[in-house]
Amino acid sequence: MVSIVDSAIEKYLRSFAPGRPDFMLEMEKYAEENYVSIIPPEVAQFLTFLIHTNRSCNVLEIGTAIAYSTIWLAWAVEPRDGHITTIEINDRRAETAIQNIKTAGLDNRITLLKGHAVDIIPELKDSYDFIFIDAAKGQYGWFFEELYPRLVPGGLLVSDNVLAEGLVVLADEQLRHRQKTSVRRLRDYLKMITTHPGLETTVIPLGDGIAVSLKR
């Protein structure tokens, strides 16, 4: 769980997060021990709030990992009999995700597509009222170009990790060579979604930074 928030404030915010069943606590432990990036509980609570407020039903997630966020999203749409479509490129994580989804009893509410999002997204036929991007940050711009037409008016596009552990505010000479391209692309992405005429966007310093974009 990556966070740019002061640790004391993070701990305080996390105290307000809803209780999780034991299997979710086990997922959090697994993620920490195996260096799997998952959203913090306070971010999950925020996503739940957004889905309830926007009354979202048809959700697309880019980046399943072990299905921690996926399960939170599925719980959030359950009152409206909604559905989650989620994409994961890593076979091993996808298999772990499938087992976690079964443990949660959400097989009928979640469709997991294994493969590269670059290959899968152009083949998607549905429209979505909530899209959550939590994948390779260097590809956020490409994701947006493909996903914007698939987001219904009034729908929400939520992009995670947009502050990149604070790297976006550093001067280029302070970045390691391998960081420069992904950080530049992420800055370009933030500029794109905050100035796009079809979106109303706000960036929130929660977790590792979350951008919430409403399609006009």
The CATH topology of domain 7-215 is: Rossmann fold (3.40.50)
Give per-residue burial for 62-93: e unless 16+ CB within 10 Å, then b: bbbbbbbbbbbbbbbbeeeebbbbbbbbeeeb
Compute the distance between CA of residue 27 and CA of residue 126 in angstroms, rounded to an integer.
30
pLDDT of residue 171: 82
Rounded CA gap, 198 and 168, in Å? 24
Give residue 42's pLDDT.
93
Instruction: Tell me the average pLDDT across 81-93.
Output: 97
**Helix spans in the chain (H):** 7-14, 22-33, 41-54, 68-77, 91-104, 117-120, 140-147, 177-195
- Give the span between the Cα atoms of 95 and 79, in whole angstroms: 27
> pLDDT value at position 87?
98
- Give the pLDDT of residue 34: 96
| Mean pLDDT score across all residues of the chain | 95
Task: Please determine, for residue 121, whether its predicted confidence score (pLDDT) is greater than 70.
Answer: yes
Residues 157-209 pLDDT 10s: 999 999 998 888 888 888 888 888 889 999 999 999 999 999 999 999 999 99
**Per-residue pLDDT for 216 more than 90?**
yes
pLDDT in the model for residue 2: 67
Statement: residue 127 has pLDDT above 90: yes
8 Å CB contact between 15 and 45: no
